[in-house]
Homo-oligomer: A and B are copies of this chain.
């Protein structure tokens, strides 16, 4: 097994087989999960997106940053509607998939590294549980500060996330305990993607309950203004500035 761009290799293979493939995620507790809805989900046409996502997109406007863009479905959607959209993803392979599918501005970039070189945005979209890229209590405020610098005063973050505590599965409950004992948040998953003989590096992926999200946003200048939910533990958090549209940022 080698460490590499497992996610990108999976996505490139899926692109070449019309969305076939199964995504395998491993957690540091040894849990292995395979999802029938991996690549199928990443390549899904708009009408098949979860309703919470389609409802959330009504709140999107202006210039769009698509964070953890995967196969670029969100960036492509906005491009087609005439918006300027930039797709970023940590995976070179999946960024290549974005480009091949027609995303005009797709870049290999971690969310921790976003800066003004990308331009200024009105909307930041983190779908597919990618609000989890906030990663941890330490990283989240740093990332939110960066997003503050490169968004307009009326900016909205539409961040999808899962409530980790809406489960009675003893394996997950034990994992939350184990995390807390190590000083981590309960839903602070440490995971990696595996594809064939490649494993991605381990990374933190933060699942948050609503109260945890609200607490995490405190003092960052951002606040939770709405939760868009359906009948699943997954929700889209609408996050806006605490004090909207200061003169210095509306430019």
Contact = CB atoms under 8 A, between A and B. Distances in A.
Interface residues of A, number: 17
Nearest to A29: B197
A2 B32 CA distance: 12
B34 A22 contact: yes
A63 interface: no
Given A22-B22, A171-B197, A34 B31 contact: no
Contacts of A247: none
A135 B22 CA distance: 28
Contact of A32 (B29, B171, B196): B196
Nearest to A27: B197
Nearest to A1: B30
24 contacts: A1-B29, A1-B30, A1-B31, A2-B30, A22-B22, A22-B34, A22-B36, A24-B24, A24-B32, A24-B34, A29-B197, A30-B197, A30-B199, A31-B196, A31-B197, A32-B194, A32-B195, A32-B196, A32-B197, A33-B196, A34-B34, A36-B36, A171-B196, A171-B197
